Amino acid sequence: MIEAAHLTKNYGDKRAVDDLSFVVKPGIVTGFLGPNGSGKSTTMRLILGLDRPTSGTVTVNGKAYRDLSAPLHEVGALLEARAVHTGRTAYNHLLALAQTHGVPRRRVDELIELVGLQEVARKRVGGFSLGMGQRLGIAAALLADPGTLILDEPVNGLDPEGIHWIRTLLRGLAAEGRTVFVSSHLMSEMALTADHLIVIGRGRLIADMSVEAFVKSASKNLVRVRSPQAEQLRALIVSHDVTVEIDADGALEITGLDAAQIGELAAANNLVLHELSPVQASLEEAFMDLTRDDVEYHAHTGLAPVGAES
């Protein structure tokens, strides 16, 4: 359980996190979603006591992280920036972390096996690929069997196999009753992994809801229709709660009626339809709609650069 209350962090004049309050519950995967620069990594560093909040508080299991007597047993973290000495072997890295808590050596071997790093465990971390580095980071996070996991963009730069592995792992950890808090700037990723979403933009809370509710609230329910009698059809259905727009190649884009209703209306009036297709707004579009005003840097094309950079 993670609880943030009015969490605020300034770096000089720059406000990275702005009066953020939320609760992350055990037993589910909570996605932490926001465009680049929205303050996700900063929030996670604040939770872990690495940075000190300007104001507000954040606790894990009711205590400030600094006051935990076995922090790695309560919280396992995978930070965005690498947190491992490149000159040390994976084994010695994990061993040094384990020793701070009295975690036995055999547990280090188990974790190395769990994340599939047996072959390279005695090699220096400097030569590791991004994927191997992430696996080592996960091993470090799980080392002391934490009840809460905090992972900052864990799938960034991973191949599909690695992404699948992390997703499965996170869902498994949540199913065991652990608290799992995972950030991403990609809605599509969150939709596949998370049960609950905390969405931020420019350091402020935008949404705190289930993934299901988010998808529902965000869908536009647009229907695309092509007809040789487009003008007649338009005149027939347009009303104060039905809008019709004509797109670049002459198709009608109708909101306010579903495909069945439109088809029945057309049939009743003997209008010919060449296409009748419901268009679900993609999750990515929904997310962009939600955060459009809160994106840190708008690209010059006018499109919000959500997910365009990492």
What residues line the site for Mg ion (CB under 5 A)?
A: 40-41, 80
Q: Which is nearer to other proteins, 39 or 71 (CB)?
A: 71
Six-digit token string for 141: 């996070």
30 binds, among Mg ion, other proteins, ligand ADP, none (CB under 5 to 8 A by kind): none
Q: What is the C-alpha separation between 283 and 305, in angstroms, rounded? A: 15
Six-digit token string for 131: 């994927």
34 binds, among Mg ion, ligand ADP, other proteins, none (CB under 5 to 8 A by kind): ligand ADP
Query: Does 8 sit near ligand ADP (CB under 6 A)?
Result: no
Q: Which is nearer to ligand ADP, 193 or 291 (CB)?
A: 291
287 binds, among other proteins, Mg ion, ligand ADP, none (CB under 5 to 8 A by kind): none
Query: Does 197 sit near ligand ADP (CB under 6 A)?
Result: no
- Shortest gap between Cβ of 203 and ligand ADP (angstroms)? 7
Q: Which is nearer to ligand ADP, 55 or 99 (CB)?
A: 55
- Closest to 241 measured CA to CA, from 215, 261, 263, 271: 261
x/- mask, ligand ADP, residues 37-76, rule CB under 6 A, reads: xxxxxx----------------------------------
- Do 46 and 10 meet the contact criterion of CB atoms below 8 Å apart? no
Q: What is the C-alpha separation between 28 and 196, in angstroms, rounded? A: 7
186 binds, among Mg ion, other proteins, ligand ADP, none (CB under 5 to 8 A by kind): none
Residue 95: CB partners within 8 Å, gap ≥ 6?
Answer: 105, 108
- Do 120 and 91 meet the contact criterion of CB atoms below 8 Å apart? no
Helix (H) or strand (E) holding 55: strand 55-60
Six-digit token string for 297: 């840097």
Q: What is the C-alpha separation between 230 and 245, in angstroms, rounded? A: 11
- Closest to 94 measured CA to CA, from 82, 111, 79, 81: 111
Interface contacts to other proteins, rule CB under 8 A: 45, 48-52, 65-66, 68-73, 77, 79, 81-89, 92-93, 95-97, 99-104, 106-107, 110, 114, 140, 142, 144-145, 169, 172-173, 176
Interface contacts to ligand ADP, rule CB under 6 A: 11, 14, 16, 34, 36-42
